[in-house]
Structure formats: C-alpha cells, structure tokens
Amino acid sequence: MKRAIIIGATSGIGQEVAKCLLLEGWQIGIAGRRQSALETLQRVAPDQIEIQTLDVTQEDAAEKLNILINKVGGMDLFLLSSGIGFQNMKLDMEVELNTARTNVEGFIRMVDTAFAYFRKNGGGHLAVISSIAGTKGLGVAPAYSATKRFQNTYIDALEQLAHLQKLKIHFTDIRPGFVSTDLLNDGKHYPMLMKAEKVGRHIADALKHKRRVVVIDWRYRILVFFWKMIPRWIWKRLPVKTNG
C-alpha cells in the first residue's frame, strides 16, 4: 500500500494532487489549518484519508505531522504544498515577515521532520511545491520570490546531505508558473494562467516518475530557460509587474 502525506491540501494545488493520488489508490494524510476543508475532502473517500489540522508556523507542527504519519500507518511520499505569497511593493513589514514565517520557517519545520522520518525508516520520496518565482528576485514580491529561491536551495542541500549519509531519499522540486488558486485571488491579471486540476495531474505524473526538478508547464520551461540568462544589469531595469 502506498502512503502519502500532503501538507497544504485544504485548497489549490495540494488538494488537486491529493485527488489524483486518491484515484491511483494511495492512502493519504492531509493537513492544513482549516479543519472544515479537511473534513470536506475526507468525506470524498473516508477509507483512504486521514486528516490533521496544523499550522506550519507553530512549533507543535512537527509533532502534529508525526501524529498524521502514524494515523496513516507510515509514509512513502511527503509533499509540501503549504505556502503563501503576496505582491508587496510597499514592503509592508508584516506581509514580508509572515511570508518568511510560512515559506521559510514552516518549510524547514515540515521538510526536516519528513527527512528525519525517512532517515529513520529506510528512505522515501520528499517533494515540495516551490515556484518559478525563485528564478530571480522579483521587485513586486520580494519575500515571495526570495523564499521560493530559499526552498530550491534547501532541497539541493538536503539532497547532498542524504547522499553524504547514504540515505535512500528521492527529492522532487516542483516549480509551477501562474496557477488559478486562492493564492492569486487578488483581483490582478496574471498571464498564462493554468488550471489547478491540470497542474495537479502534471504533478502526480512527475511524482510517479520521481522527477527531480519539474517546471510546469512547457511554456514556463521556455520562459525560465531564457529568464536565467538575463544579466543583472538588464534584469534590474525590466518592468516586471502584473496589472492591478
């Protein structure tokens, strides 16, 4: 029996991946802060789903993740989808710090707990949803783009650590472009917007094949390829912003 844990499955991309894994017969444990959203999804397949509320920014989240793993009876795949992001050109300090608390502090808490579980239990598959936003610093969303870059680098580091310690842990870093979810529900226009269902299916397929880095979709793969090559002196002058 295949067992997966998904943190951030109460909406958006994480929830879509959860639905795909259910169709493939996985036992899943899902988490997020919203109890009612967890219960709604659980009603879809009560025999296959365990739930646990947790807030990744709180210290007890690691313990709650371990409780969820026990409820499911173990973990073969861990997927972290929880995250927040905002445009913040005014540099509202609380917005920047909250983003760091969730996408950096919460990320470390969850990913390290999963790593420790796999270290103790003979290995597994550790996957995260970061973003293409980590490719270069975005002036419209400093904390979001920087925290996503942090996530990319952290997974690179854990992969090397796993190798050093001879652990059988596979890593997947999923980097979508714009997806139509609550995260972008701010009334602004986002180009090349993808449907969450389609992105969820793409991710489930990439997980099945244990891909290491996945940029979704092909249009964004081309964009990121050229984006990486833009020299700093040009990048700082580019008017990269969405229309409000």
Ligand X SMILES: NC(=O)c1ccc[n+]([C@@H]2O[C@H](COP(=O)([O-])OP(=O)(O)OC[C@H]3O[C@@H](n4cnc5c(N)ncnc54)[C@H](OP(=O)(O)O)[C@@H]3O)[C@@H](O)[C@H]2O)c1
Nearer to ligand X, 27 or 81 (CB): 81
Which whole-number Å values give the CA distances from 122 to 3, 115, 140, 154, 232, in the listed order?
Answer: 15, 11, 42, 21, 43
**Among the residue ranges 40-48, 111-119, 177-185, 201-209, the one whose residues contact ligand X (CB under 6 A):** 177-185
Q: Which helix (H) or strand (E) holds 153?
A: helix 142-164
- Residue 168 DSSP SS3: coil
Q: How far is it, in rounded angstroms, from Cα 80 to Cα 114?
A: 10
Decide: is 8 part of the binding site for ligand X (CB under 6 A): yes
Residue 163 C-beta: closest distance to ligand X, Å: 26
Structure-token pair, residue 126:
């550790």
Residue 200 binds to ligand X (criterion: CB under 6 A):
no
Residue 207 in the binding site for ligand X (CB under 6 A): no
Helix (H) or strand (E) holding 39: helix 35-42
Question: Among the candidate windows 19-27, 32-40, 157-165, 230-238, which touches ligand X by CB under 6 A?
Answer: 32-40
Q: Interface with ligand X includes 55 (CB under 6 A)?
A: yes
Q: Number of helices (H) and strands (E), helices first, in the chain?
A: 9, 9
Q: Out of 82, 135, 145, 172, which residue is the one contacting ligand X (CB under 6 A)?
A: 82
DSSP category for residue 188: -
- What is the rounded distance in angstroms from the CA atom of residue 217 to the CA atom of residue 172? 16
Q: How far is the CB of 207 from ligand X (least distance, A)?
A: 14
Per CB under 6 A, 146 contacts ligand X: no
Judged by CB under 6 A, the chain residues 94 through 123 that form the site for ligand X are 102, 106
Cα(first)–Cα(last) distance of the chain, in Å?
47
Pick one of 45, 67, 184, 213: the residue that binds ligand X (CB under 6 A): 184
Of 9 and 162, which CB lies nearer to ligand X in the complex structure? 9
Residues that bind ligand X (CB under 6 A): 8-14, 32-34, 37, 54-57, 81-85, 102, 106, 129, 131, 176, 178-179, 181-184
